[in-house]
Structures are given as C-alpha cells and as structure tokens.
Amino acid sequence: MTKYKYSVKNLKENQAKALARDASVSFKSAIEACNFLRGRTTKQALSLLEKVLDKKIAIPFKRFTDGVGHRRGNGIAAGRYPQKLSDVLIKLIKNAEANASIKALNENLKIVHLSAQKASVPMHYGRHPRREMKRSHIELIVEEIEEKKKEPKKKKTDVKSTTTTKAKAKSENQNKEKVIPKEVKEEIKPKADDKKEEIKKKEVKEINDNNKKSNNKEMLNNKVIGTTRVEDKKWSYQKLEIFGTPKKLK
C-alpha cells in the first residue's frame, strides 16, 4: 500500500491538522462541501453541517451541477444534502479541535485549509460486480484566532463646538500679544527716547556742518577777491584778483 503524503508539510505553532483517509464519500460532493466550509470558524461549520443533516440548509453545488436540482435558500441554485459526507466532516472537525487543545490553543479556531483528494477506487464485492467504490481523502488545518485588543473609541465632537473653541483660542492669543507688562513698558520707553535723541543730535550736526562749509566758502572768496561785486544800472565791476585792475563791462 502506498504512503499518503500530506499536502501541507510545515505547520505553524498556532495551527493543528486532521485527516480522514479512504472515507467512503463521493469525491465531487466532498469538493463542493470543502469550498462551502473553507474560511469559516469550526463552530460555524459544525452548526451548518448539523442543519444539513436536518435538511434545513443545502450545500450549494457550483462546479458539478449536472443533474442536480435547485434548492430553497438565498443565493442557492443547485444543491444537495449529503448525509454521509456531513457525518465524516463533523468527526473530522472535532478531531482537529482535540488536536488543537493538546497544543494548548484557544477554542476560537478558523478553517484555513480544507481540501478533498481522490483515493483508491476498489471494486464492490458480492452482488455488485464491476462497480467501483467512491472514496476520497479529506485534509483539514485549523488556525488559532488571535484576540484583538479593542482600542477606546474617540468621542465625536460637534462642528459648532470645535469652531467656537478655535475662535476663543485665537482671541486669547491676540489679547496675550496686546497686553504688555509694566516692566516691559518701562524698558521699551527709554529705548525709544534714546533713538529720538540720537536722531536730533544727527540733525544738529548736519546743520552745523552745512553752516561751517558755507562760512569757509565765504572766507575763501574774501581772501582771493580784492574787490566786491558792484551792481549798478549801467556799470558793473568784474571780480578780479588782488593785483588786477577793474574792467568795464557793458
């Protein structure tokens, strides 16, 4: 007899597995049931399979639909109530939960891997010659669900209250900028007075310098020129040097 090799080799620490070998179950219906239960929690899967046994819920057939009638239910077209298969799957899920408890995992388990593979097909014996049996292997891997810590929700604030608080904060900041303590005022005043005094001193210096320059020009003119300009209606003497003689100008 050949050895069966499990499709998933390396399991994580928070995972557990179970296997149903050579189960006398239809391979096609096993594929449809695995597609229906994959991704659910173990509690959800068990409750659904119990309802399938009571024929309250049908397993939807989406791939192998040839000759399958429609069933009642939302979003179900073709479907069936496989009794033998649902019993095998219930035992398999409980076996996986027991393996998870041995590894000290939580009860909150999720079906991560669930697949059906075709097994050997021997002939029926007795009065059913030349008729093949229906067999399949079903693999199951379950993973622990980590509990997420709930963060405290932030309280919702009204838009009006936020706008009013912002306006108040702005007004307070403006008032703080306007209000100046007495000590700062006393420091600011002498600085302004000093600046005004410096400006006045500069203006006085400029006026004195201009007066000095004008006086120096006049002194130079008196030294260089011997006679002053005489303006008459008819005659005027031109400015001449000390040793020069006046000339008449018309």
User: pTM of the entire structure?
Assistant: 0.58
Rounded CA-CA distance 241/143 in Å is: 123
SS3 track for 6-43: CCCCCCCCCEEEEEEEEECCCHHHHHHHHHHHCCCEHH
Percent of the chain's residues with pLDDT above 90: 43
Average model confidence (pLDDT) across the chain = 78
Q: What is the Cα–Cα distance from 245 to 238, expressed in whole angstroms?
A: 10
* Listed ranges 89-98, 115-124, 228-237; the one with the highest mean pLDDT: 89-98
Cα atoms in the 13 Å half-sphere on the side-chain side of 82:
24
Per-residue pLDDT at 56 exceeds 60: yes
Other CB atoms within a 10 A radius of the CB of residue 34 amount to 21
DSSP letter at 137 equals E
Mean pLDDT value across residues 193-200:
74
Mean pLDDT calculated for residue range 58-80: 89
Over range 23-48, report the average pLDDT: 95
Question: Residue 5 has what pLDDT?
Answer: 77
In this prediction, residue 229 carries a pLDDT of 45
pLDDT band per the 50, 70, 90 thresholds, residue 212: confident
Q: Indicate the domain borders of the chain.
A: 15-144, 190-250
Question: Domain 15-144 is in which class?
Answer: alpha beta
Of all residues in the chain, the percent with pLDDT exceeding 70 is: 67
